[in-house]
Amino acid sequence: MFTLSITPRFYETDAFGHINNTVITGWFETAREPVFRLFNPSMEIKNLPLILARVEVDFVAQIYYGADIEIKTWIEQIGNSSFIVAHEAWQNEHCVARGKAVQVYFDFSTQKSGRIPDQFRDQLQQYLKSQ
């Protein structure tokens, strides 16, 4: 499992007085960076062989300004050419949001999606929740 600590920023609040919902997809993208790094250790942006196909977020409770968030991230499922990353955001010992992201492997040599090579598959498996 990967963990990321985030301090909410004031400009991330909205007029309801809480963290705006649209901010969470950005936090979850940030929490997936160690996953991107598995596929692209140098983090040279142009070489990342992943495409984001889908995201889902469940907003479980209000997220407040003034207390840190812990984001837990793991691999939920590994398919042929895609895999699912799962996230939970916790604040003050409550789960405040859950999310999933479907990432597709993009084969630069064929310029389309393709089977996730075994070298990456092995790495992803180490982050399956049951592991």
Given the rule CB under 8 A, which residues bind a copy of itself? Answer: 7, 9-11, 13-18, 20-23, 25-26, 29-30, 33, 36, 43, 45-46, 51-59, 65-66
| Closest to a copy of itself by CB, 16 or 131 | 16
Task: For tokens 């997936």, name the residue.
Answer: 32
Report the nearest approach of a copy of itself to the CB of residue 110 (Å).
Answer: 17
Report the nearest approach of a copy of itself to the CB of residue 102 (Å).
Answer: 9
H or E stretch including 54? strand 50-59
Task: For tokens 């939970």, name the residue.
Answer: 88
Please provide the DSSP assignment of 11-28 as one string: GGB-TTSSB-THHHHHHH
